[in-house]
């Protein structure tokens, strides 16, 4: 794996974390990071958005607009290459919003990995 790549999970909403008792996305990202011998960096706060399961494609993109913020990042932020990990790809709204937040913070290259695709 190229040096300087960090694996970043899409965090579950706080409600989903409470319901499940854990953050399944963080668990997936940690497994990917271990496999790649790369650090796992929890850079994103849980999204401020409503559940998307019943939303249309357009509603999902609107729902995720500005839904993410960074956590624990200071002015010495230096991560430039990220593999963004999510469990399911439906419309891409979540990945687009998270990637935009990371790019705004200075991440140069964002690649995405998901484990399922819903049509």
Q: What is the pLDDT of residues 15-70, one digit of tens each?
A: 878 888 888 889 999 999 999 999 999 999 988 787 788 888 899 989 888 889 99
**96 band by pLDDT with thresholds 50, 70 and 90:** very high
pLDDT of residue 77: 62
pLDDT, residue 1, reads 41
Count of domains forming the chain: 1
Q: What is the dihedral of CA 49, 111, 107, 48, to 10 degrees?
A: 10
CATH assignment of the domain containing 21: 3.40.50.2020
The one-character DSSP state at 104 is H
Domain range enclosing 85: 5-117
d(CA 104, CA 36): 25
């Amino acid at each position: 794996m190229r040096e300087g790549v960090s694996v970043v999970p899409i965090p579950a909403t706080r409600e989903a974390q409470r319901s499940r008792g854990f953050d399944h996305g963080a668990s997936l990202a940690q497994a990917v990071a271990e496999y790649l011998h790369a650090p796992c960096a929890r850079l994103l706060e849980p999204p401020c958005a409503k559940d998307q399961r019943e939303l249309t494609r357009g509603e999902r993109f609107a729902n995720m607009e500005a839904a993410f913020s960074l956590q624990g990042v200071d002015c010495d932020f230096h991560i430039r290459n990220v593999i963004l990990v999510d469990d399911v790809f439906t419309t891409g709204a979540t990945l687009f919003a998270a990637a935009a937040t990371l790019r705004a913070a200075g991440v140069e290259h964002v690649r995405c990995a998901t484990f399922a695709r819903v049509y």
